[in-house]
C-alpha cells in the first residue's frame, strides 16, 4: 500500500465520521430552533405588548402630565408681577347727613352702597374696549409688551392676535373687586414686568377717575341745562305777557280797567241813589200840588228825567256795544295780568330750581379717595404657579374619577 492510498483511506474515515456526526447534530439543532420559534416568540411578543400597555397606562400618563405641569409651572413659566391699589368713591356729605351718621349711621351705609354701585360700573367700564384703546392706543405696542418669550411660548399675546383676542387678553390682566363690607374697590393688574404692572394700574386709575367725573358731570350738566332752559322759557313768557299787557293798556288808555269799572259802577250807584231821592221828592210834590204842571213839580220831574238819561248813558258807555264794554275789557285785563303774574312766579321758581340744581351738582360731584396707591413690585408673584399646578392636579383627579366610573360601568355591562 502506497502513501497515497493511506491518505485516501484516512480521508474516507474522517468523512464517514463527519457524516455520522452531522446528521444527529443537525437534527438536534433543528429541533431546538423549532422549539424556540414556537415558545419564545409569543412570549417575546407578549412582553413587548405588556411593556407598551404599561407605558400607556393611565397612572403613567397622569404622572407624566403632573410632572410636565410641575416642570412648566415652577421652571419654564415666565414670572408674573402684580400691582394692587385700593380706593373708595366718595362725595361731599351734607350737614344733615353728619347728624344721621352720629345717630344711626344711615348716611354712612348709603355712602357704602353708592361706592359699591360705582364699583360695579367700574368693573364693566375698565374691561371695555374703550378703556383698552385709551390705555393702549397703538395695538403694536400692546402686542410687543405682552409678546411670548422663549422658552415659555405658551404665555403671552400672539403677534397675529385679532382685536377680540387682544380685548380678551387685556381683560385677563386686571381685576376689579368691590368690597361688600367697606365699600372699597381693589384694583389688581398683572404683567410680565413689575413696571408694566405698575403703569397699567396707574393708567386704569386715571381712567376710573375720568369715568367717575364724566358720569357725574354729565348728569349734573344735563340737570343744569334743563333748569337753564326753564329759566329762559319763563323769561320769554314773562316778556311776552308783559308786552301784551302794555299793548292793551296803551290801546285803551287806562292803567286798570278793574278800577275804572269800579269807579263807573260807583258813579252809577250814586246817580241811582240821587234818582231815588228825586223821585221821592217828585212824588211828595205831586201830592202837595194838584196841578201836575206846577213849576215846582216840573222842575223836579226834569231833574228826574235828566238823571235817568245820564244813568243810561253811563251804563251804555260801560257795557254797551257802542261803548267801551268795561266788563269785557276788565276780563281781558285780568287775564293779561294773571298771565304776567303766572309768568313772574314761574320765572322765580325756575331760577330757584336752577340755583338748587347748581348746588346739587356741586354736592353730587364724586371723587376717588386712595386707600392704597399702586407700588412697583419688588418680587414676582408666585401664586399663579401654585394655582396652575393645583388646577392641573384637580383636572387629573376629576378625569381619573370620571374615567374610572365609566370603565367600571362598561365592565359591569
- pLDDT of 364-377, one tens digit each? 677 788 899 999 88
Q: Is residue 51 part of a domain?
A: no
Same domain? For 193 and 137 the reply is yes
Q: Is residue 47 part of a domain?
A: no
Q: Which residue has the higher pLDDT, 190 or 412?
A: 190
CB count within 10 Å of CB 185 equals: 24
Q: Is residue 48 part of a domain?
A: no
Residue 149, Cβ density class (10 Å: 0-12 exposed, 13-18 middle, ≥19 buried): exposed
Same domain? For 276 and 177 the reply is no
pLDDT of residue 104: 46
Q: Which residue has the higher pLDDT, 411 or 29?
A: 411
Same domain? For 242 and 146 the reply is no
The C-alpha cell that represents 145 in the structure block: 409688551
CATH number at residue 153: 3.30.1890
Residue 186 has pLDDT above 90, yes or no: yes
pLDDT, averaged across the chain? 75
Residues 6+ apart with CB under 8 A from 189: 82, 83, 173, 174, 197, 198, 200, 201, 204, 374
Same domain? For 245 and 314 the reply is yes
Q: Is residue 49 part of a domain?
A: no
pLDDT of residue 335: 85
How many domains does the chain fold into?
4
pLDDT of residue 322: 52
State the residue range of the domain holding 38: 3-42
Alpha-carbon distance 393 to 35, whole Å? 50
| 397 pLDDT tier (thresholds 50, 70, 90) | confident
| 29 pLDDT tier (thresholds 50, 70, 90) | very low
Alpha-carbon distance 284 to 300, whole Å? 10
Same domain? For 373 and 387 the reply is no
Q: What percent of the chain has pLDDT over 90?
A: 11
Q: Is residue 50 part of a domain?
A: no
pLDDT of residue 131: 92
Same domain? For 28 and 137 the reply is no
Same domain? For 359 and 404 the reply is no
Same domain? For 137 and 103 the reply is yes
Q: Which residue has the higher pLDDT, 238 or 26?
A: 238
The predicted model gives 16-45 an average pLDDT of 43
Residue 28 has pLDDT above 50, yes or no: no
Q: Express each pLDDT in 50-82 by its tens digit.
A: 444 544 566 777 788 778 777 777 777 778 889
Q: Express each pLDDT in 101-136 by its tens digit.
A: 444 445 456 777 777 888 888 888 999 999 999 999
Q: Closest Cα to residue 178, out of 233, 118, 90, 126?
A: 118
Q: Express each pLDDT in 245-287 by its tens digit.
A: 888 877 776 556 556 667 777 877 888 888 888 888 878 877 7
Alpha-carbon distance 204 to 135, whole Å? 8
Residue 327 has pLDDT above 70, yes or no: no
Same domain? For 171 and 185 the reply is yes
CB 76 within 8 A of CB 152: yes
Residue 403 has pLDDT above 50, yes or no: yes
Q: What are the residues facing 50 on neighbouring strands?
A: none
The predicted model gives 124-152 an average pLDDT of 87
Same domain? For 169 and 298 the reply is no
Residue 238 has pLDDT above 80, yes or no: yes
Is the four-CA dihedral 209, 215, 217, 220 of positive or negative sign? negative
pLDDT of residue 388: 80
Greatest distance between any 2 Cα atoms in the chain:
232
Q: Closest Cα to residue 76, out of 63, 64, 67?
A: 67
Amino acid at each position: 500500500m502506497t502513501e497515497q492510498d493511506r491518505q485516501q483511506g484516512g480521508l474516507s474515515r474522517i468523512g464517514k465520521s463527519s457524516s455520522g456526526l452531522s446528521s444527529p447534530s443537525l437534527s438536534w439543532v433543528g429541533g431546538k430552533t423549532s422549539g424556540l420559534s414556537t415558545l419564545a416568540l409569543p412570549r417575546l411578543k407578549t412582553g413587548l405588548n405588556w411593556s407598551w400597555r404599561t407605558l400607556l397606562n393611565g397612572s403613567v400618563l397622569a404622572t407624566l402630565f403632573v410632572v410636565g405641569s410641575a416642570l412648566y409651572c415652577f421652571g419654564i413659566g415666565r414670572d408674573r408681577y402684580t400691582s394692587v391699589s385700593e380706593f373708595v368713591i366718595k362725595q361731599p356729605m351734607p350737614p344733615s347727613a353728619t347728624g344721621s351718621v352720629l345717630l344711626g349711621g344711615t348716611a354712612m351705609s348709603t355712602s357704602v352702597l353708592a361706592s359699591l354701585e360705582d364699583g360695579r360700573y367700574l368693573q364693566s367700564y375698565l374691561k371695555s374696549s374703550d378703556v383698552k384703546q385709551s390705555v393702549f392706543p397703538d395695538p403694536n405696542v400692546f402686542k410687543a409688551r405682552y409678546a411670548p418669550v422663549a422658552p415659555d411660548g405658551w404665555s403671552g399675546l400672539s403677534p397675529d392676535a385679532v382685536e377680540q383676542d387682544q380685548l380678551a387678553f387685556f381683560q385677563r390682566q386686571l381685576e376689579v373687586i368691590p368690597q361688600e363690607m367697606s365699600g372699597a374697590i381693589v384694583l389688581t393688574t398683572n404683567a410680565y414686568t413689575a413696571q408694566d404692572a405698575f403703569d397699567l394700574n396707574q393708567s386704569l386709575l386715571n381712567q376710573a377717575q375720568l369715568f367717575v367725573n364724566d358720569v357725574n358731570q354729565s348728569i349734573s350738566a344735563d340737570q343744569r341745562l334743563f333748569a337753564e332752559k326753564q329759566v329762559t322759557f319763563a323769561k320769554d313768557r314773562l316778556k311776552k305777557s308783559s308786552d301784551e299787557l302794555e299793548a292793551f293798556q296803551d290801546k285803551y288808555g287806562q292803567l286798570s280797567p278793574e278800577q275804572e269799572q269800579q269807579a263807573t259802577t260807583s258813579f252809577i250807584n250814586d246817580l241811582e241813589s240821587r234818582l231815588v231821592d228825586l223821585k221821592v221828592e217828585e212824588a211828595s210834590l205831586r201830592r202837595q200840588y194838584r196841578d201836575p204842571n206846577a213849576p215846582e213839580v216840573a222842575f223836579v220831574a226834569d231833574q228826574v228825567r235828566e238823571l235817568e238819561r245820564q244813568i243810561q248813558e253811563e251804563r251804555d258807555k260801560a257795557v254797551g256795544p257802542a261803548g267801551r264794554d268795561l266788563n269785557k275789557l276788565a276780563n281781558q285785563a285780568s287775564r293779561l295780568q294773571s298771565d304776567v303774574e303766572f309768568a313772574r312766579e314761574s320765572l322765580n321758581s325756575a331760577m330757584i330750581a336752577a340755583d338748587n340744581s347748581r348746588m346739587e351738582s356741586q354736592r353730587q360731584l364724586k371723587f376717588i379717595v386712595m386707600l392704597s396707591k399702586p407700588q412697583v413690585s419688588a418680587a414676582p408673584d408666585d401664586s399663579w404657579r401654585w394655582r396652575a399646578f393645583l388646577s392641573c392636579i384637580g383636572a387629573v383627579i376629576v378625569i381619573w374619577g370620571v374615567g374610572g366610573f365609566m370603565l367600571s360601568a362598561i365592565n359591569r355591562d
